[in-house]
Amino acid sequence: MKITEVSIKRPTVVVVLFTILTLMGIISYKSLNYELLPKFSSPVVSITTVYPGASPSEVESTVTKKIEDAVASMEKVKKIISKSSEGLSSVTVELNNDANADLGLQDAQRKINSIISDLPGDAKTPSLNKFSLDDLPIITLSATAKMDDKAFYDLIDKKVQPTLSRLPGVAQVSIIGGQEREIQISIDPAKLEAYKLSILQVRNIITNANLDFPTGKVKTTDQQILVRLAGKYKNVDQLRDLVITTTADGSQIRLGDVADVQDAQKDAERIARLDGVNAIALKIQKQTDANAVVVSEETKKAIAKIEQDYAVNGVSIKIANDSSDFTLESADSVIHDLVIAIFLVAAVMLLFLHSLRNAIFVMISIPASLIATFIGMKFMGFSLNLMSLLGLSLVVGILVDDAIVVLENIYRHMEMGKNKVRAAYDGVKEIGFTVTSITLVIVVVFLPISLTNGLVSMILREFCVVVMISTMLSLLASFMIVPLLSSRWGKLEHMTGKNIFEKFILWFERQLEKFTNWMTHPEMGAEA
């Protein structure tokens, strides 16, 4: 075991190596993102096309069928599901498990672009999306205020939403509920017929009159001024006074003469309530590489400032749901369990190794292996989530296996009369292959799971890789740290019962021996 020989003869190498690994591990830990679950995306691409006013049969024949034929030639297509309803076409393409969702989305986009010219002119451009957990909102806010419903919706839409959208790490802010303002024009068919007008004419006149456009520029010797004609409606009265046509006798027919124009509200398709109180909900989605916890903290700061700025309007924004709270609680629980596990392992080792010195030797290898694992997590692009933290808490018991086996064999050689340096080298050399095989058995169990492409393996990959990295690092620590410490500070312990600790250890040994004899008693075997 050349690595053990170098560790014993050149202790500086061990100190420098594990100091570097520990520092890099701490830096990597601080840069890792907090997530609830590992990043994974199911290879499913959805294509949605809006065709206003079309019947389901027309949508199917003119839109859905053409999109199906286009995406059918994609690679690794497992299943295509389509649905045609009034004014809407939905096509879902499910790819094989080994397919890349991003490449599939790009391939589908190319196929759709090639048939856009064949789609009806009134149909909207198809919208393509892939399923991803990042599309789920991480924070849901509920906003209320002491002001008119339409004015409050405009405040949220024009002021609050852009403020939240500009926060670092925020990808999109969606508004749900509220009373959105809508100018409603109810045309009287009888009056329209009397003036010999059509709805299309009225629609075109209203649209063409609601425009801003440049009319030229004014130049002076030192500056140039652009002149624009502001033609957009300022209020409902201007819309009512819009001239639709002129009769033969020169009389002007205005929009108010043929229609009822009202400043009203859109019909609410979705409502938002918190604790039975009507509100406007804001759903915040984070960017793919953003830290959910940081986004949550920035959002809470922004909420406090918004409430302060619009306190005169009685604006109140409450957090209805924040997934980062559950993420932090889960992470804290796992880390808490991790600390408890380390102390329990130390207590058990103290009982069976009969020495605080021996327990410390083994316990040093645990943080050395765990902290260095964060380097691999950073390199692999992992995050601190339920799966990776669960792997860390599970692996605590595995990390001490190699160190205990090596330490026990070193002390066996010391009991044979060898000095601690020779015992450390011979002990590791004798059992090195066995310890390596113990570690590799664990690795080969988790390795196949991490290499497959199924949906379950995508979720468990971080768990498996973290266990493998930690286990391999524990093997390195058992070959370098344990023999180094044993060769410097190793000491044979003989329990004589001179103090309370030794008396307790001897009592525990007697109880363990009684239990062993009871379990192996011949009469017990006959009764069984």
* H or E element that contains 476: helix 455-489
- The residue ranges of every structural domain in the chain are 2-31+354-493, 44-131, 135-180+268-325, 182-265
Q: Is the pLDDT reported for residue 9 higher than 90?
A: no
CATH class given for the domain over 44-131:
alpha beta
DSSP code, position 384: B
H/E element, 364: helix 356-379
Are the C-beta atoms of 68 and 60 separated by less than 8 Å?
Answer: no
Contact 393, 463 (CB under 8 A): no
pLDDT tens digits, residue range 122-178? 888 888 887 766 667 888 898 888 888 888 888 888 888 889 988 888 888 888 887
Structure tokens at 497: 């019962």
- 403, burial (CB in 10 Å: exposed 0-12, middle 13-18, buried 19+): buried
Quick one: which H or E segment has residue 260?
Answer: strand 259-265
Least confident span in 117-121, 190-194, 503-507, 524-528: 524-528
Q: What percent of the chain has pLDDT over 90?
A: 5
Output the pLDDT for position 26: 92
Q: What is the mean pLDDT of the chain?
A: 83
State the Cα–Cα distance between residues 456 and 106, nearest whole angstrom.
Answer: 25
Q: Rounded to an integer, what distance in angstroms lies between the CA atom of residue 528 and that of residue 522?
A: 10
Q: Collect all residues with Cβ–Cβ distance below 8 Å to 74 and sequence separation of at least 6.
A: 93, 95, 104, 107, 108, 111
The pLDDT score that the predictor gives to residue 294 is: 85
What integer pLDDT is reported at residue 73 of this predicted model?
85
| Three-state DSSP class for residue 432 | helix
Token pair recorded at residue 386: 């339920």
Cα(100)–Cα(492) distance, integer angstroms: 58
pLDDT in tens, 471-480: 898 888 888 8
Higher pLDDT, 461 or 41: 461
Half-sphere exposure of 210 (CA within 13 A, CB side): 14
Q: Which amino acid is at 410?
A: I
* Reduced DSSP (H G I as helix, E B as strand, rest coil) percent helix, strand, coil of the chain, to 5: 60, 20, 25
Q: What CATH number is given for 135-180+268-325 in this structure?
A: 3.30.70.1320
| CATH entry 3.30.2090.10 includes domain 182-265 | yes
Report pLDDT for 133.
Answer: 66
DSSP letter at 1 equals -
Three-state secondary structure of 30-89 = HHCCECCCCCCCCCEEEEEEECCCCCHHHHHHHHHHHHHHHHCCCCCEEEEEEEEECCEE
User: In angstroms, rounded to a whole number, what is the distance separating the alpha carbons of residues 444 and 460?
Assistant: 15
Residues 6+ apart with CB under 8 A from 206: 185, 239, 242, 255
* Residue 159: DSSP 8-state: I
Residue 527 has pLDDT above 60, yes or no: no
Angstrom CA distances, 401 to 56, 180, 272, 366, stand at: 66, 65, 55, 10
Identify residue 488 by its one-letter amino acid code: R
Question: pLDDT (tens digit, 9 = 90+) per residue, 414-455?
Answer: 888 788 888 888 888 888 888 888 888 888 988 888 887 777
CATH topology for the 2-31+354-493 domain:
Multidrug efflux transporter AcrB transmembrane fold (1.20.1640)
Residue 97 corresponds to which tokens in the numbers above?
A: 């498990």
Q: Span 65-88, mean pLDDT?
A: 88
Please write the tens of the pLDDT for every residue from 214-259: 778 888 888 888 887 777 778 888 888 888 888 777 788 888 888 8
Identify the H or E element spanning 90: strand 88-95
Contacts of residue 103, Cβ cutoff 8 Å, sequence gap at least 6: none
CA dihedral 306, 308, 312, 316 (to 10 degrees): 60
Q: Whole-structure pTM over 0.95, yes or no?
A: no
Contact by Cβ (8 Å): 133, 159: no
Q: At 525, is the pLDDT very low, low, confident or very high (cuts 50, 70, 90)?
A: very low
pLDDT greater than 90 at residue 23: yes
Q: Do domains 44-131 and 135-180+268-325 have the same CATH topology?
A: yes
What's residue 526's pLDDT? 46
d(C-alpha 375, C-alpha 446), whole Å? 19
Q: What pLDDT score was predicted for residue 375?
A: 92
**Closest Cα partner for 173 from 149, 137, 144, 142?**
137
